[in-house]
A and B are shown apart, each in its own frame.
Chain A
Amino acid sequence: MSRQSHRLPEGGLVERSRALRFTFDGRALTGHPGDTLASALLANGVHLTGRGFKYHRPRGIYTAGPEEPNALVTLGRGGRSEPNVPATTIELFDGLEARSQNRWPSLGFDLMAVTSALKPFFPAGFYYKTFMWPRAFWYRLYEPIIRRAAGLGRLADAPDPDRYEHGHLHADVLVAGAGPAGLVAAREAARAGARVLLVDERAEPGGHLADEQLEIDGKGGAAWAGAVAGELGGMENVRILARTSVFGRYDGMTFGALERVSDHLGETGGLPRQRFWTIHAKQFICAAGAIERPLIFANNDRPGIMLAGAARSYLNRYGVLPGREVLVFTNNDDAYLTARDLARAGAAVAVVDTREKAAGAEMLPASVDVHYGHAIIDTGGRKHVHSAIIAPLNGDAGHIGGQPRRCDLICISGGWNPTTHLLSHLGRKPAWDNAIAAYTMPDPGEGAHVAGGAAGIFDLGSALSDAAGAGRNAAGACGFRARGKAILPALEGTQAYGVTPLWRLPQELSSGAKSFVDLQNDVTVCDLELAQREGFGHADQAKRYTTLGMATDQGKLSNVNALGILAELQGRTLDETGTTTFRPLYSAVALGALAGQRRAGEFAPVRYSAMQDWHEKHGAVFTQAGLWMRPYYYPRGGEDFAAAVNREVTAVRTRVGMVDVSTLGKIELKGPDAGAFLDRLYTGGFSKMKIGRARYGVMLREDAMVFDDGTVSRLAENHYFITVTTANAAAVMRHMEFCHQVHWSKLDVQFCSVSEAWSAMAVAGPESRDVLSSVVEGLNLSNEAFPVLSVGEGTIGGAFARVFRISFSGELAYEVYTPAGHGAGVWQAIFEAGRSSGLTPYGTEAMTVMRTEKGHVAGPELDGRTTAGDLGLGRMMSAKKDYVGRWLAMREGLEGANRLQLVGLRPVGEEGSFVKGAHLVTDPRATGPDASQGHVTSAVHSPTCDGFIALALLKDGRARMGERLFAVSPLHGEEVEVEVTDPVFVDPQGERMRV
């Protein structure tokens, strides 16, 4: 085991008796259970963890929480590789592998650091200004350089092997944050009887308590928090979610949260990696605490410079002494706790306070010097800070270049910002509070409460009594009255908080070296000053102009400092300037978690017909039709696609074939007004259709475009059955419900989707009657008894069968419907009966070929822009009744020579083939959208016509029969001369289906 150079022999929550091995950039190190990657690195004396975004300057661990701007690493390998994870949030496990980012070839020696010398390349507004330069410069020169230089981690290059889950949670009261305020609020709400959901991003409750040396109820902070959490965990109406971040608030008291289920285990062990929770609550208590602000000075980004609260956290929570010669630079009293605790741990500490006096100083041991009215104005040390220059704030420029003071750790504190993001996500703006020099949310809005540090209450005693009130109020709003007094703990070791803001050093104390405001996007004080000079000083403009706050940390550390600087430059107050808008997500959520179970095969349900097994056994190649898997073709022997489809088509045209059409949408309608209802849905009339008859029907949208087509059959006086296209089945049902419930609710009709209840198969070809007659009982299929468009009932192998004499292929054909449970049996029975006729199963492609040969329109022609007239179905539009789409069909523009009309196309010459989507032009060299006269919608090779045929939509097409055009698809490099024909290629009189 390697020695952890900066681990103290005792203190903190880490389990020193167990060592965890991990690697950072391949270097083997150890830490302990309870460590984060950041604390384990610091325990080993490693501060340098990455390189800056723009200038590639060395950067170190800056915080101890999710607000970390610098120490972003890539975890894991291959498909599990995850970039841009803050080292401060990664719980250490045995075998963890982390790599630094944004450096090349190595972290210690980075070639791109020369961009520091190329500073003029990267001023604020760089991207905007650069876009103004000649385009060629951008693509050839700047973009490649920037791509190389900028950017953070790299994405994984393999699919993520882990599992993610989605879930919903419901609660009366959601408490975000299980720090002291969250615990007390949750306990009060739960005691009143409310169903409480307490959520915290850390593994253990208590928030910052473990970072502090204080006593609550005579215990250490972490022990007290553990006891309260234990008490809550024992209550039936409380659920605690640890390692879970509430990342967003949405409409109607809905919240998003991400639970890291197994990230801390190293291996998922069968568990999902993360869970994405949608939380529905009645009341919300934001107890998210506060985030410390940095102070800004020249070279404030060196490794070894960190927030004062973070240093205290590493010391008290993790037992790590992050430095031995420490400067604490502050404008507020909180940082004195850091000075005190580090001094107690044996570090040599001095405080530099921008103020003239400080109440916090009383707690310091005598060994700690305090320099009042001073500031750190610059630092030295390339890969680790080794010195700082301290100057009196009211002094003169003589101090620049003055005597540096040695140090190996600078702890900075510019005050604390309440974490009110979740209260702002719906657009509510925070207000500036001068007393704590921070934005707060005094009125969090209906149903919301704010407690503790998030409310800007930094004195623990006041925070807890306030939080108890929030818990009781939230429960009360849900109808739960609290009984008795709130339970509040006894406190020792807390102190008052005072702060005097300092947004930037006076001009005369600025050395000219970079002073970073946003460490993650490398935005400096100079950049903000430039934005202001160039007229982009408004908070929202400056953000975009400089990219401040737009990195993955979303400006958690930088936003308020930037607003302070801008306000100062404009001579305004922070109340006047206001903040930029906070939006979800508060913290990063992996795409895998957003996708949840919905990926690969589980992206959407897959639907199979009842005959799926048969299709598989008979070698079908499948294609996806919406959610359905359908046989595409059934290759035999070594047949390729074209050979199989040609064979299947020829079999139907010469003998008999069978296709599974179970996927069609099927709807049954009953009631005295069923016919009248159908009359209003379809262009044709059905109320007068005879019982036992079927007919083709077309539905329009109200704007007169064709919506769907299918068959309508009348099974009994008040009983109809319709089929709709596979793709539109759900939309047609919704449309029918709208028409019935909204337009014509007085019609006495009920209808129901029965798509899944019936299996359906079409038996088509000259021998189809012979095959079916031999297997159907109780139904005479002769031409006289059962002519075209008849509907009848019988049995096949004892199973109920509804038979329709309907043809899509143009051949003598029948559709057989049977309850889905009998689908496979009936299919098999017909197949057996057809053996002697060579009955050939065929797939959707053969079906497409045959419907194209017959000029029947389908999905490609029903593209939402075609009218019934365009498709040659104008004769189906009744002039005797009201129906959806009738009245706008007559308007100007939907009639006349400018419409694209359905035509057929054949190549001129032997070998021509088409591409679907090709444009029809008179001159193949013409370019531009005006050149197109129309386009090819369906194109197939027709064995019946012995060549390629196509359906197309052509301007004024019906008047152009025999005309020659070119079908061109520059994308495919195809150009074919074509002749315009009638869209019906086979049996134009429709005789074959009537035999």
Chain B
Amino acid sequence: MRIACPWCGPRPLSEFTYGGDAAKTRPKAPEAAGLETWMDYVYLRKNPAGRHREYWHHGSGCRCWLIVTRDTVTHEIEHVALAAPQMREGKK
């Protein structure tokens, strides 16, 4: 598998580290969120056979966290974006 990093271009899997489900967002109001919301954020993951948005870290490259949209069955990568919103703006 290769991931087309927006900064570095297509690079081999060995340069990246997996970072889990990108659908999960850290609660914006952490104190008000409540235990259930926190448990959901930290522990509960879907395990889809198919399209999945997930974090990948380009540790041996630009060190950016990426959001990769990948098919978990075919490993086909549909889309790659920088995780940090303002970096995204800077890039494109």
On A, residues with C-beta under 8 Å from B are 168, 250-252, 254, 278, 280, 426, 702-703, 730, 734, 737-738, 740-743, 745-746, 882, 886-888, 890-891
Contact = CB atoms under 8 A, between A and B. Distances in A.
A249 to B, nearest CB: 12
A887 B26 CA distance: 11
Interface in B48-92: 55, 57, 59, 63-65, 74-77, 82-87
Given A737-B63, A741-B64, A887-B30, A703 B55 contact: no
A740 B2 CA distance: 25
B26 A743 contact: yes
A254 B12 CA distance: 10
Given A426-B74, A741-B64, A252 B85 contact: no
Interface in B1-36: 1-2, 10, 12, 17, 19, 26-27, 30-31, 33, 35
20 contacts: A168-B12, A251-B74, A251-B76, A252-B75, A252-B77, A702-B26, A702-B42, A703-B43, A730-B59, A738-B19, A738-B55, A738-B65, A740-B84, A741-B64, A742-B84, A745-B86, A745-B87, A887-B27, A887-B38, A888-B35
B85 to A, nearest CB: 6
A248 to B, nearest CB: 13
A252 B38 contact: no
Contact of B42 (A252, A278, A426, A703): A703
Nearest to B33: A887
A252 B87 contact: no
A737 B57 CA distance: 9
A740 B26 CA distance: 12
A254 B2 contact: yes
Contacts of B17: 734
B12 A278 contact: yes
A252 B86 contact: no
A252 B1 contact: yes
Contacts of B31: 882, 887
Given A250-B1, A743-B26, A738 B87 contact: no
Nearest to A892: B35
B1 A741 contact: no
Interface range, B side = 20 to 34
Contacts of B83: 741-742
B84 to A, nearest CB: 4
Nearest to B73: A427
Contacts of A734: 17, 57, 59
Most chain B CB within 10 A, of A254, A278, A703, A741, is at: A741
Nearest to B4: A252
A742 B65 contact: yes
B42 A741 contact: no
A888 B87 contact: no
Most chain B CB within 10 A, of A250, A252, A737, A743, is at: A252
A882 B26 CA distance: 12
Nearest to A702: B42
B26 to A, nearest CB: 5
Contacts of A426: 74
Given A737-B57, A741-B87, A252 B30 contact: no
Contact of B38 (A280, A741, A742, A888): A888
Contacts of A250: 1
Given A250-B1, A252-B2, A734-B17, A741 B65 contact: yes
Contacts of B87: 741, 745
A280 B13 CA distance: 12
Contacts of B27: 887
Contacts of B26: 702, 742-743
Contacts of B82: 741
A887 B41 CA distance: 11
A740 B59 CA distance: 15
A702 B43 CA distance: 10
A745 B64 CA distance: 12
Nearest to A250: B1
Given A254-B2, A737-B63, A738-B19, A745 B84 contact: yes
Nearest to A446: B76
Given A741-B64, A745-B86, A886-B30, A251 B75 contact: yes
Nearest to B82: A741
Nearest to A701: B42
A327 to B, nearest CB: 49
Given A737-B57, A740-B84, 13 more contacts: A252-B2, A252-B76, A702-B42, A703-B42, A734-B57, A737-B65, A738-B65, A742-B26, A745-B86, A887-B30, A887-B38, A888-B35, A891-B39
Contacts of B77: 252
B27 to A, nearest CB: 8
B75 A882 contact: no
A888 B42 contact: yes
Nearest to A280: B2
Contacts of B39: 888, 891
Contacts of B1: 250-252, 254
Nearest to B34: A887
Contacts of A740: 84
